[in-house]
Amino acid sequence: CRSKHTRESAIPCKMLPPPSKRSRRGAAQRRVLAYMDALPCAAQYETSYAHRAVVTHTVVAAKAGFVCTASENGHVKFWKKMQRGVEFVKHFHAHVGPIADVAASFDGLWLATTGDDGAAKLYDVHAFDMACILRTKRDAAEPYVPGAACWLQTAAAPTPRVALAAADEAAPIRVYAAPTFALVAKLRVHASPIVALCPLPPLGLVVSADARGVLECWRCADGPRRGGDGKGAAVSEVPAEAPGDAVAYRSKLDTDLYALAKTRAGPCRISASSDGARFAVTASDATIRIFETRTGRCLRLLDESAAAIDARRGAWLLRSARGAPPDASDDSDDAGPMPEPAATAAAGEE
């Protein structure tokens, strides 16, 4: 049953006497009673660990079996993949304000987050603990606000390194070694602010996009380019390495990597397949573009605008009213170029 207790009336005087031991004991008892009143009275109850704000990022590390979610109010939550569903593990109020990006390492042992508060943070996934904090806006030799982030880690080069891009300026990509955030390289890739980074671990490549819609495919060297104390003063800025024989084109003019720049669509996110053979780019024009990594060609366009969805729904309702079977060709009529089956199989084998 719920306890009943009354609130003491205030003393109508300007100067209150110092609290006695009995009054302090009574305040502690009232606090305990308030906690008891908040306990559920039912035999069975449930509690929610959900975010209190809009979830903006979700990262899944299949090798480590964990899920990380981040919300727009700067909170990060870790979830453990169980045999049935997921189980809540830990919660961090990581950043003051929105979170810019969340990235997990290739082996699933490390997690990195960046925020608009000018901080980047590393987390040890197995320990579910925060390992290091980098104040790029205050403590760095060249202050900047971190934006996009990705891990430069492959099976051949397992050393964990995280790449951070400036959110509001055309600055080089800074590569840090984990878990100490020691600056090891500065890579010059884009002439505009970078908005998205996506690693391709099976190929050892990284795909990046800037605010103008230009896509770049590049490779980061395995060895560090660091000197001095490692705080960034002695690190020289160098251009990123070309993808080399990992791609089949010699010039970007032979690819569709300028497709977003031609349509003046701003890229939002980049996601790659598990084998790195293809990657998808979402843009501000509500269109998903699927590219082939080796050729740089756009394989398909998926129009996810409200007008296109309403048109497809109207066509489906019209066919249903006439009693005709659903036609699968309608989705591919305006979906852009599709590769031939033989060419797709050959690209997958390569």
Considering only CA atoms, which of 144, 148, 257, 267 is closest in space to residue 211?
267
Q: Which of 157, 135, 146 lies closest to 102 in space, CA to CA?
A: 146
- Cα–Cα distance for residue pair 241/188, rounded to 1 Å: 10
pLDDT of residue 221: 67
Q: Is 165 exposed, middle or buried (0-12, 13-18, 19+ CB in 10 A)?
A: buried
Residues 152 and 161 sit within 8 Å (Cβ to Cβ): yes
Interval 190-200: pLDDT, tens: 999 999 999 99
For position 41, what pLDDT does the model report?
77
Handedness of CA 339, 341, 343, 344 (dihedral sign): positive
pLDDT, tens digit, 9 for 90 and up, residues 200-256: 999 989 999 999 999 999 987 665 444 444 444 567 788 888 888 889 998 899 999
How confident is the model at residue 229, as a pLDDT? Answer: 44
Q: Which 3 state secondary structure label does DSSP give 288?
A: strand
pLDDT tens, N- to C-terminus, the chain (350 residues): 444 444 444 444 445 455 566 666 778 888 888 888 877 777 777 777 888 899 999 998 888 889 999 999 999 999 998 888 888 999 999 999 899 999 999 888 999 999 999 999 999 988 888 999 999 887 677 889 999 999 998 888 888 899 999 998 899 999 999 888 889 999 999 999 999 999 999 998 999 999 999 999 998 766 544 444 444 456 778 888 888 888 999 889 999 999 999 999 999 999 999 899 999 999 999 999 999 999 999 999 999 999 999 998 998 888 888 876 665 545 544 445 544 434 444 444 44
Give yes or no for a contact between 182 and 201, defined as CB atoms under 8 angstroms apart: no
Tell me, what's the pLDDT at 10? 45
User: How many Å separate Cα 146 from the centre of its chain?
Assistant: 13
Taken in order 187, 189, 191, 193, the sign of the CA dihedral is negative
Q: How far apart (Å, rounded) are the C-alpha atoms in residues 198 and 281?
A: 10
Burial of 197 (0-12, 13-18, 19+ CB in 10 A): buried
> What number of CA atoms fall less than 13 Å from residue 54's CA on the CB side?
5
Note the pLDDT of residue 232: 44
CA angle centred on 90, ends 87 and 94, rounded to 5°: 135
Q: For residues 134 and 153, what is the distance between their CA atoms, to the nearest angstrom?
A: 20
- The pLDDT score that the predictor gives to residue 2 is 45
pLDDT at position 20: 61
Q: Phi and psi dihedrals of 164, rounded to 5?
A: -120, 135
Closest Cα to residue 57, out of 98, 27, 28?
Answer: 98
CB within 8 Å of 173: residues ≥ 6 apart = 163, 164, 165, 186, 187, 188, 189, 194, 197, 208, 240
- Rounded Cα–Cα distance for residues 126 and 84 (Å): 20
Q: What is the DSSP string of 81-111?
A: E-SSSEEEEEEEE--SS-EEEEEE-TTSSEE
Q: How far apart are CA 220 and CA 60, in angstroms?
A: 24
d(CA 113, CA 109): 14
